[in-house]
Amino acid sequence: MALVNTKKMFEMAYKNGYAIGAFNVNNMEITQGIIEAVAQEKAPLILQVSRGAREYASNSWLKAMIDVAVRENPDIPIAIHLDHGDTFKTCKEFITDGFTSVMIDASSKPYEDNIALTKEVVDYAHKHNVVVEAELGQLGGIEEDIVGVGHDDISKHLCDPEQVQDFVKRTNVDSLAVAIGTSHGAYKFKKEPKLAFDILEEIGKRLPGFPLVMHGSSSVLKEFKDLINKYGGKMPDAMGVPEEAITRASKMGVCKVNIDTDLRMALTAKIRQIFAEKPNEFDPRKYLGPARDAIREMVKHKLHVLGCAGKAKECS
């Protein structure tokens, strides 16, 4: 199966009450671990490339790895998505490079400027059968060079349900990332968050059938946090989005859930463990291989949290 866009995925996810995992890729081991997981669980997949990933590995290398994954897994529908594109030029470059989905994030701009830039990207992307995600409201935390609002201000920057219909109508965007209290990074919250499910419910009433997206949705899994800290790390205050909240959101119109931090933590935890237990080890294959395995098992777990395990066929 060739690369696909997310239209069919989101249609089926919305209809049947689950979400598609959107996993950020940065190198070969991360990509392989994700692909092995979805192949084993027969799940649809969105692979995301951020600006930081592009600077680290370059688009050509990342796209080549994804092309191999697509070729070797013909029964798995795979979309390739630009995460947090911030300009029309960037989105256009990724569309030219063969991406099937792009995000234009103008959420930090005034409302009318957000609409104008989003519409410009949508008009261009749709001519090339590429779908577009936009964002309303602002998340907290930090992800690479994406700086959100402070922890104490998250509640002041949630998505306004009264804007969603106007925004979607005027931009013709295909999906919408809505700020409902999630946050980027590993240190998302000072205490367990209470997501704004009332806002999510109200948006669903105003935009029935329209796919929503959750950013900042890694759970900062305890097993990896504990392993990192056991072997020299210092992440005692790391806290993420509870998995039960993610499952609940996936039944309320959230069709795409972004996961990045959990991938990094799984990789780092396993490498730290091997370095501590085998200090003489210097063969990268002996620590990157197990790290890849850790990513695979974590992603398999997430696919069941999201409810998309076993859904590859219906999304094809």
- Say which residue, 90 or 146, is predicted with more confidence: 90
Is the pLDDT at 151 greater than 50, yes or no?
no
Is the pLDDT at 71 greater than 80, yes or no?
yes
Average pLDDT value for residue range 149-173: 76
Average pLDDT value for residue range 201-217: 92
pLDDT, residue 156, reads: 52
pLDDT, residue 180, reads: 84
83 is annotated as an active-site residue: yes
Q: Which of 67, 75, 83, 145 is catalytic?
A: 83
Is the pLDDT at 142 greater than 50, yes or no?
no
Instruction: Look up the pTM and report it.
Output: 0.91
* Three-state SS annotation for the chain: CCCCCCHHHHHHHHHHCCCEEEEECCCHHHHHHHHHHHHHHCCCEEEEECHHHHHHHCHHHHHHHHHHHHHHCCCCCEEEEEEEECCHHHHHHHHHCCCCEEEECCCCCCHHHHHHHHHHHHHHHHCCCCEEEEEECCCEEEECCEECECHHHHHHHCCCHHHHHHHHHHHCCCEEEECCCCEECCECCCCCCCCCHHHHHHHHHHCCCCCEEECCCCCCCHHHHHHHHHCCCCCCCCECCCHHHHHHHHCCCEEEEEECHHHHHHHHHHHHHHHHHCCCCCCHHHHHHHHHHHHHHHHHHHHHHHCCCCCHHHHC
Average pLDDT value for residue range 67-73: 95
pLDDT, residue 157, reads: 60
Is the pLDDT at 308 greater than 70, yes or no?
yes
pLDDT, residue 138, reads: 64
Give the CATH number of domain 7-315; options: 3.20.10.10, 3.40.50.12780, 3.30.2130.30, 3.20.20.70.
3.20.20.70
